[in-house]
A and B are shown apart, each in its own frame.
Chain A
Amino acid sequence: MSRMLAFTPEVFLSLFEQYNTAIWPLQIVAYALGVLAVFLTLRPGRVAGRLVAAVLAGFWLWIGVVYHFVFFATINFAAPVFGVVFIVQGLLLAWTGVVRGRLDFRFRGDPAGWIGLGFALFAMAIYPLLGLLAGHVWPRAPMFGVTPVPTTIFTIGLLLLTAHRVPLSLMAIPVLWSLVGGTASWLLNIPEDIALPIAGVAGLGLAIWRNHGTPRGKTG
């Protein structure tokens, strides 16, 4: 099935090897920022919303510019388009959450909150373990915070952890990417990425369900 793409799974994993080697040790910084973001949703403070939004915006902007434009574009003609989409999402997160301060990340013990927390922890901990089981060993593996799939799952999870209505305008690109990226991952036979479309569809459903029971006017 990978014949529908312009590159083989071997070349795709080789790209991760080059990318991870080139940006090392930013992967550790990304993990630290991810842990901080999750912590802030559990212990929210005055600037927590802006900080979490800044972390998410930073992830998406980095992936858009560096991963897609600089690295992925060498093997995939569509990568620049993906890069623009990721940059748009990064700017939306920065504008809504950092500049306007309209995002209030706060864990609520409802189903959307628990599942959102689950998605975030999955992206950081379970996803790389599943990758290991599939034989995707460092540095030939997609890493949290600096590659699209785990970062998208993480973002969907954190958006479900917003205090009021889930901002669907910020959910749109991650859900769209979960379908695009999920299809590509299926074609490339990367089993851990099956979580991506699941997170996208489930995240969208939970967001709509959450918003249905939350008064209008309160987003984030």
Chain B
Amino acid sequence: MNRIGPMLTRRALLVAMAARGLVPGTGLVAGGRGAAAAIGPIRKRPIPASGERIPVIGMGSWITFNVGDNVSLRNQRVKVLQAFFDRGGGLIDSSPMYGSSEEVIGYCLKRIANADALFSATKVWTLSRLLGERQMNDSFKLWGVNRFHLMQVHNLVDWEAHLETLKEWKSQGRVRYIGITTSHGSRHEEFARVMATQPIDFVQFTYNVVDREAERRLLPLAAERGLAVIVNRPFRRGALFDRFERHPLPAWAGEFDCANWAQFFLKFIISHPAVTCAIPATSRVDHMLENMGAAYGPLPDGDMRTRMIRHVESL
């Protein structure tokens, strides 16, 4: 087929121009490992508690932003974060557990021009109310912010004590939303109990095309309770790439504007109606562009989601 002719669509033209860097500021993205193409405004989802809308792709910082005092690596992360905001990103998630990540995020934010869309999310991860308050106060300084959009209790550690603090801080305006987190498969029973009984706004847990346990209970419960859902480990800490990247992306992935495996995995997650945002982590600008590409264009419908599951299970 002649690619330059009557069949050329506006989208195809814009994508081709974007790949050559000819259309800055259009929301078009061109990235490595298979160009990531996207068009139009970034997809956002409402936070049920307030109706405030946030982009469906955020950024995690486990490992990737824990670079210590190395200035060269820090400045490289500035570029990654710049790419995130340039492509319409907002939510950045971290934790005191992630070594120097919070400090490095603060370092980057001071060097980025267009960080107005920042939706700051971190966690408290320690025992006792007193130590929790101290740790959260440290996080304000490390990030260089006056208030956090979201403060979460990490892995339910001493959640009763910390939620008391967070309820107070929310009423004082120090944090806008409060939530709880867990990671792959751990303490789901207790997690569901807190979801069902406590006045929280956000939950964060693991969900991806391979790890779908959350579909049974946590995701329906979040929808029922009106809780925003942040999905961590969307690539199973990179293991999904190790397992599937050697296989070609199925041609039908193009039906929902999916240009690479990163977008395949992410679009599967954010196409679940109860999911508010997925938080892939990366230390590379080209991978950030791929990830952010998932926030644009159509999403797979229910039948397509089933096809995606069957496909990865067949590989």
Contacts and interface: CB of A to CB of B under 8 A. Distances in A.
A15 interface: yes
Interface stretch (B97-105, B168-176, B208-216, B265-273): B97-105
Given A74-B99, A76-B99, A77-B96, A6 B68 contact: no
Contacts of A74: 68-69, 99-100
Where chain A touches its partner, the secondary structure class is helix
A14 B237 contact: no
Contacts of B98: 6, 77
B32 interface: no
A10 B63 contact: no
Q: Is the interface of B mostly helix, strand, loop or mixed?
A: loop
Interface string B85-127: 0000000000011111000000000000000000000000000
B198 interface: no
B238 interface: yes
A8 to B, nearest CB: 6
Interface in B44-83: 62-63, 66-70, 73
A5 interface: yes
A10 B70 CA distance: 10
Interface string A1-43: 0011111101100110110000000000000000000000000
Given A6-B62, A8-B63, A18 B70 contact: yes
Contact of A77 (B69, B97, B283): B97
A74 B99 CA distance: 6
Interface in B123-142: none
Contacts of B68: 7, 11, 14-15, 18, 74-75
B61 to A, nearest CB: 10
Contact of B97 (A6, A8, A15, A18): A6
A11 B67 contact: yes
Contacts of A77: 96-99
A6 B99 contact: yes
A4 B63 CA distance: 9
B97 A14 contact: no
Contacts of A6: 62-63, 66, 97-99
B63 A3 contact: yes
B279 to A, nearest CB: 15
A2 to B, nearest CB: 8
A211 to B, nearest CB: 40
Contacts of A10: 73
A85 B6 CA distance: 72
B70 A7 contact: no
A77 B67 CA distance: 13
A142 to B, nearest CB: 16
A167 to B, nearest CB: 35
A77 B99 CA distance: 6
A108 to B, nearest CB: 44
A7 B69 contact: no
Contacts of B283: 8
A6 B96 CA distance: 11
Contact of B66 (A4, A7, A18): A7
Contacts of B67: 7, 11, 14, 75
B211 to A, nearest CB: 15
The 4 tightest CB contacts between A and B, nearest first, are: A75-B99, A3-B237, A14-B70, A7-B66
Interface of B: 62-63, 66-70, 73, 96-100, 237-239, 283
15 contacts: A3-B238, A3-B239, A5-B63, A6-B62, A6-B63, A7-B67, A10-B73, A11-B67, A11-B68, A14-B67, A14-B68, A17-B70, A18-B68, A74-B99, A75-B100
Given A7-B68, A11-B66, 19 more contacts: A6-B62, A6-B63, A6-B98, A6-B99, A7-B66, A7-B67, A7-B99, A8-B283, A14-B68, A14-B70, A14-B73, A18-B69, A74-B68, A74-B100, A75-B66, A75-B68, A75-B99, A77-B96, A77-B97
